[in-house]
Amino acid sequence: MQSYIVMQGRTYYEEKELGILWSQQQDSAGNIQHFWERMKEVNAGDRIFHYIKGDIVAISVAKTGYREESKPTTLDLPVTESDKGYLVEVDYHELEKPLAIEDSFNEILPLLPIKYSPFQENANGNQGYLYPCNEELTIKLVELIGDLNIYEIDEEQLEFVMGTVRKTEHDFLTPILAETEAEAKTKVRLGHQRFRIDLMPLWHDKCALCDIALPELLKASYAKPWKDSTNNERVEPNNGILLCRNHDALYTNGLIAFDGQGKIHISSRIPEEDYNKYGLYGKMRITRNETNKPYLKWHKKHVFNE
């Protein structure tokens, strides 16, 4: 199962009525965009979060993969030289209480990928159509949607007609959210387990910086985080370093990094007089290999806080 976020705007109601997602293949100048081509990645069973004007308003389940199909005549979209597009059939499930992205953006922002993010840093949606939604972001969106829309109904409430109606309205949502969350968490857990097992022997089962060897204190630290990695990179053992929990926290939060030669770089947020407190000194190095190198450089460029 994969998850996506679709930015629909005014076409939401028309596409919901038809039970579809539809995107064009190219613009009038013949340009092809990633957010249209991504329709070709969708498979039956995938989840799609529907975004309109600041809110996630529905979650749908793909019934089919994509097929090439001309623009439905009822869709209010600009006419291009070619109306060929990609169509996916989906089951829409509208939320009683939409999720306002801005209200929860502090929780969402750290989970957004650097490339192909559906949202800008000011919480506004990016222009385009279909964006990837990594497993960590999926889990967070499900949690936030569930908090708004799923609630217990006690026996006394069921005596009232409205209580019964509300229960019926929510019967569809609970299993969809539960299954979506469970599958995403399983994928993350199994990926992390495989990554750690394959990474540990590369670093001789000890912290690359301080030689701590207690397994309970060691973390398989990603250089290129899960949210930014491809499926292959998420289980690639060279996309990481084995570190103790102290050094892992520093590395994951961008307070230390390593260059292509394995030399440590320490953020200016840590005063030099405090290096010893954190088990650091300026001439530290790790023993990297050529396959580590591009991942270490990516981390230093995109995660490290100089």
Tell me what the mean pLDDT of segment 146-159 comes to: 60
Enter the DSSP assignment of 198.
Answer: H
Tell whether 115 and 222 lie within a shared domain.
no
With respect to residue 188, please indicate whether it lies within any of the assigned structural domains: no
Tell whether 25 and 115 lie within a shared domain.
yes
What CATH code is carried by the domain that includes residue 46?
3.10.590.10
Tell me what the mean pLDDT of segment 35-47 comes to: 97
Tell whether 10 and 128 lie within a shared domain.
yes
Tell whether 128 and 209 lie within a shared domain.
no
**Residue 302, pLDDT above cutoff 70:** yes
Final residue belonging to a domain, choices 96, 115, 134? 134
The Cα–Cα gap between 225 and 252 comes to 8
Lookup result for tokens 């969106």: 141
Cβ neighbourhood burial of 100 (10 Å; 0-12, 13-18, 19+) = middle
User: In terms of pLDDT, which residue wins out, 6 or 24?
Assistant: 6
Percent of the chain at pLDDT exceeding 70 = 91
pLDDT of 151 reads: 57
With respect to residue 73, please indicate whether it lies within any of the assigned structural domains: yes
Per-residue pLDDT tens digits for 57-100: 999 999 999 999 988 887 766 655 457 899 999 999 999 999 99
Out of 7-21, 135-149, 156-170, 181-195, which region has the weakest mean confidence (pLDDT)? 156-170
pLDDT of 159 reads: 47
Tell me what the mean pLDDT of segment 130-135 comes to: 97
The whole-chain average pLDDT of the chain stands at 90
Tell whether 125 and 24 lie within a shared domain.
yes
Tell whether 210 and 107 lie within a shared domain.
no
The Cα–Cα gap between 66 and 38 comes to 10
Q: How many domains does the chain have?
A: 2
Cα Rg, the chain, nearest whole Å: 23
Tell whether 11 and 122 lie within a shared domain.
yes
Tell me what the mean pLDDT of segment 13-37 comes to: 91
pLDDT of 158 reads: 41
Tell whether 118 and 13 lie within a shared domain.
yes
With respect to residue 95, please indicate whether it lies within any of the assigned structural domains: yes
With respect to residue 49, please indicate whether it lies within any of the assigned structural domains: yes
The Cα–Cα gap between 15 and 87 comes to 10
pLDDT of 198 reads: 96
**Residue 169, pLDDT above cutoff 50:** no
Tell whether 122 and 226 lie within a shared domain.
no
Tell whether 215 and 127 lie within a shared domain.
no
Lookup result for tokens 């308003």: 57
Final residue belonging to a domain, choices 115, 134, 153? 134
Final residue belonging to a domain, choices 134, 163, 182? 134
pLDDT of 162 reads: 39
**Residue 112, pLDDT above cutoff 50:** yes
Tell whether 8 and 103 lie within a shared domain.
yes
Tell me what the mean pLDDT of segment 256-279 comes to: 94
The Cα–Cα gap between 131 and 34 comes to 9
Per-residue pLDDT tens digits for 210-235: 999 999 999 999 999 999 999 999 99
With respect to residue 142, please indicate whether it lies within any of the assigned structural domains: no
pLDDT of 171 reads: 63
Task: List the domain range (segments joined by +) for residue 91.
Answer: 3-134
Prediction pTM value? 0.86
Identify whether the C-beta of residue 238 lies closer than 8 Å to the C-beta of residue 225: no
The Cα–Cα gap between 85 and 71 comes to 6
With respect to residue 235, please indicate whether it lies within any of the assigned structural domains: yes
pLDDT band at 164; cut points 50, 70, 90: very low
